[in-house]
Amino acid sequence: MLLYDSAVSGNCYKVRLLLAHLGLPYERREVSVVDRSGRLELLGGLNPGLRVPTLVLDDGRSLGESNAILWHLAQGTGYVPDDEFERAQVLQWMFFEQYSHEPYIAVVRFLVAVSPSTADEREIGPRMRAGYKALDAMERHLAARAFLVGDGYSIADIALYAYTHVAPEGGFELDRYPAINTWLARVAGQEGHVAIAA
Amino acid sequence: MLLYDSAVSGNCYKVRLLLAHLGLPYERREVSVVDRSGRLELLGGLNPGLRVPTLVLDDGRSLGESNAILWHLAQGTGYVPDDEFERAQVLQWMFFEQYSHEPYIAVVRFLVAVSPSTADEREIGPRMRAGYKALDAMERHLAARAFLVGDGYSIADIALYAYTHVAPEGGFELDRYPAINTWLARVAGQEGHVAIAA
């Protein structure tokens, strides 16, 4: 498999983390997330969103959107539940991640730590407030649970871990979130875990 | 089933449209998408994202995120493919919708047509440009296809139809997108189709 990848992207890290858990070999091709020129030429036939990660399977079929890639790779493994309702809950958390978490927590980190020259200061305050709302929602949910869905570690945890654990790089203070901190340590302790910089 | 709903929300319409196709009865409870006070009290125990749609099943379990609800309701029906890779492609398009389409096309419509008093003019231009990029991606893909995934109508089409067909309410010009227009008519012609205002 070939992964169009970015070393700093949490969305790409999600895929690398699951591939590490699964012990699957793959090639990485680094794509800039700052200079986006040439995306249509590079990814146009592979991913309508022209984003990384994009995964090309060994048979040449390709898939975009980090959480759709996680879903596909996890089928038939222990990283997605068997129960149909829990599977829908996994998707609920992954859509929450892309709509209510990533645009704030990941984008603030990008503006502050990855590409500060592109940052518009006026963007950061509202995005931080929305990011804290997403963390509040996770804290409420995790206060009484070990993992986001059911009793086990799943791709829902992978999807939310990716940008939550690097939120402090954007200036988010995680000290006030004890349940999130316990959960972050639990995720990092899973067999086969790799770091974002691995 | 009980649907926490909003008549003007395309995200809620997705669920109403699939429920109409499936002929499933449900109750609707209208929730304001302009005045968001009291959301934690109303939806806190039902949906971590505190958003509509939220669906409460007859057994009391609840689910949030429009596309996760579509996924759950569509299992075992003809509205989601059987093939595992096509199922992942359906999710790819639904994640594209929530990340690259809805925040621009739906939000511009909201700012222009639903809640103009909350609109910040400076927000509209950049969001329109990003919305047109999403429409460009759909046009490229639909130019050679009848539906977004495989050979048939699926929840991917429902998810993208919801805000695309009302994009002109936000000022988007769809005239330049012949493949999208043909597809919109094809979706509206499906058996059991209902309008957003139904």
Is A137–B92 a contact, with Cβ atoms under 8 angstroms apart? no
Q: How far apart are CA A138 and CA A161, in angstroms?
A: 11
Q: How far apart are CA A105 and CA A93, in angstroms?
A: 15
Kindly report the pTM of this predicted structure: 0.97
What does the buried/exposed string (b/e) look like for B111-130 if buried means 16 or more CB atoms within 10 Å of the residue's CB?
bbebeeeebeeeebeebbeb
Does the residue B175 lie in any domain?
yes
Q: How far apart are CA B14 and CA A4, in angstroms?
A: 32
Same domain for A58 and A123, yes or no, is no
pLDDT of residue A122: 85
Does the residue A151 lie in any domain?
yes
CB B125 within 8 A of CB B145: no
Of B160, B182, B148, nearest in space to B70 by CA: B160
Cβ neighbourhood burial of A118 (10 Å; 0-12, 13-18, 19+): exposed
pLDDT of residue B119: 75
Same domain for A102 and A180, yes or no, is yes
Same domain for B177 and B104, yes or no, is yes
pLDDT of residue A123: 86
pLDDT of residue B117: 84
Show which of A74, A94, A126 is a domain's final residue.
Answer: A74
Residue of A92, A100, A105, A118 for testing the chain B interface, max B β-carbons within 10 Å: A92
Same domain for B95 and B48, yes or no, is no
Does the residue B196 lie in any domain?
no
Per-residue pLDDT of chain B (198 residues; tens, 9 = 90+): 999 999 999 999 999 999 999 999 999 999 999 999 999 999 999 999 999 999 999 999 999 999 999 999 999 999 999 999 999 999 999 999 999 999 999 999 999 999 888 778 888 999 999 999 999 999 999 999 999 999 999 999 999 999 999 999 999 999 999 999 999 999 999 999 999 997
Same domain for B100 and B167, yes or no, is yes
Question: Please, what is the average pLDDT of chain A?
Answer: 96
Instruction: List residues in chain A touching B: CB distance below 8 A.
Output: 44, 47-51, 61, 63-69, 71-72, 75, 84-85, 87-89, 91-96, 98-100, 102-103, 137-138, 140-141
Does the residue A196 lie in any domain?
no
CB A174 within 8 A of CB A142: no
Q: How far apart are CA A107 and CA B127, in angstroms?
A: 16
Same domain for B149 and B66, yes or no, is no
What CATH number has the domain bearing residue A146? Answer: 1.20.1050.10
> What number is the average pLDDT over the span A137-150?
97
Instruction: List residues in chain B touching A: CB distance below 8 A.
Output: 44, 47-51, 61, 63-69, 71-72, 75, 84-85, 88-89, 91-96, 98-100, 102-103, 137-138, 140-141
Cβ neighbourhood burial of B136 (10 Å; 0-12, 13-18, 19+): middle
Residue range(s) defining the domain that contains residue A162: 84-188
Tally of structural domains, chain B: 2
List residues bridging with B55 in a β-sheet. B3, B63
Alpha helices (H) in A82-154, listed in sequence order:
84-96, 107-109, 121-142
* Residue A154 in this model has a pLDDT that exceeds 80: yes
Same domain for B67 and B104, yes or no, is no
CB B131 within 8 A of CB B172: yes
What CATH number has the domain bearing residue B42? Answer: 3.40.30.10
Does the residue A92 lie in any domain?
yes
Alpha helices (H) in chain A, listed in sequence order:
10-22, 39-43, 66-74, 84-96, 107-109, 121-142, 155-164, 178-188
A103 contacts on B by Cβ (under 8 Å): 99, 103
Does the residue B180 lie in any domain?
yes
Does the residue B195 lie in any domain?
no
pLDDT of residue B63: 98
Same domain for B164 and B129, yes or no, is yes
* Residue A168 in this model has a pLDDT that exceeds 80: yes
